[in-house]
Structure 1
C-alpha cells in the first residue's frame, strides 16, 4: 500500500509535471504569441506614427495651399478694386471732358447767337443806311446817276462802292459815317 501511495504520488507528480510542462508550453506559446502581438503592436504604432506624421505634413501642405489661395483671392480683389478705381477715374475724366465740351459748345452757341444778333442788327442798320443812301442819291439826281471822277456812272455801279466804304468804316468804328464823307471818298 505504501508502494501504491508512492506510485500514486509519482503518477500525480508526473501528471503535475506534465501539466506544468503543458502549462510551460502553453505559457511559452502565450509568451511567443504575446511577443508577436507586441511586435505587431510596435509595427502598428510605427505605422500610426508615420500616418500621423504624414497627416501633419498634409495638414501643413493644406494650410499652405489655403494661404496661397487666400493670397490669390486678396490679389484678385485688389486688382478688381484697382480696375474699378481706374474705371471710375476714366468715367470722371470722360465726364469732365464732356462737361468742358458741353460748356464750350454752350459758350460757342451763345456767342454765335450774339454774333448772329449783332449781324442781324448790323444788316438792319446797313439796310436802313442803304435806303437812306439811295433816297439821298435819288433826291440829288432823279435819274439815279451821280458824278464820279468827272463822268457819270449809273447808280448800281456806285452804290456797291458806297456800301463798301460804309462797311469798311463800320468795321473800324461803331457808328456809320456821314453820307457826305462816303460820297466825298468816292469822288
Structure 2
C-alpha cells in the first residue's frame, strides 16, 4: 500500500504545473471534449508509466542492491531539484491535425510524458518498491488527480493553484525520500 500511496501523492504533486498538465488544458480548450481527453490521458499514462515501471524494475534486478540504494537516493534528490524548475506551455507539443480527439490526446500525451518528471519518478519508484502494479496504479492515479480537474475546469482554475508551493511540497517529498534512502544505504536507518 505504501508504494501505491507514495506513487500517487508524489506524481500528483509533481504534475501540478507540468507541461503535460498544460497540454491537457490546451487540448480541452481546443476540442471541448473533456471525457475523451481524460480517457486519452488515462490510456497514455497507463502505457507510459507501465513502460517506466518495467524499466525501474529491470534496473532494480540488474544492479547490486547496495549500488541501487545509493543510485535511488541520489535520483530522488535530483528529482527534488528538478521539480523546482517550472514548465512552460510552449514546451508542450502542438496538437496534430487530422487525428480524432482521443487519438490526438493519447499520442500527444504519451510523447509529452517521455522523459518527463513524472515518468522519471515512476522509474525511480518502481526501482525502489517491489510492486509494479502498485507503482503504476499509484502514478496513474496521481496523474489523473492532477489532470482531470485541469481538463474539466480549464486554465482559469489552474491559474489559481499555487504551482510554486505545490512543486515545493513535491520537491520536499522527494528530498525526504532521497535522504531516507541514502541513510538506509549508509546503514543509519533501519529498513
* TM-score w.r.t. length of structure 1: 0.23
Q: Which one has more relative contact order, counting CA pairs under 8 Å at least 6 apart?
A: 2
> Which structure has the larger Rg?
1
Q: TM-score normalized by structure 2?
A: 0.23
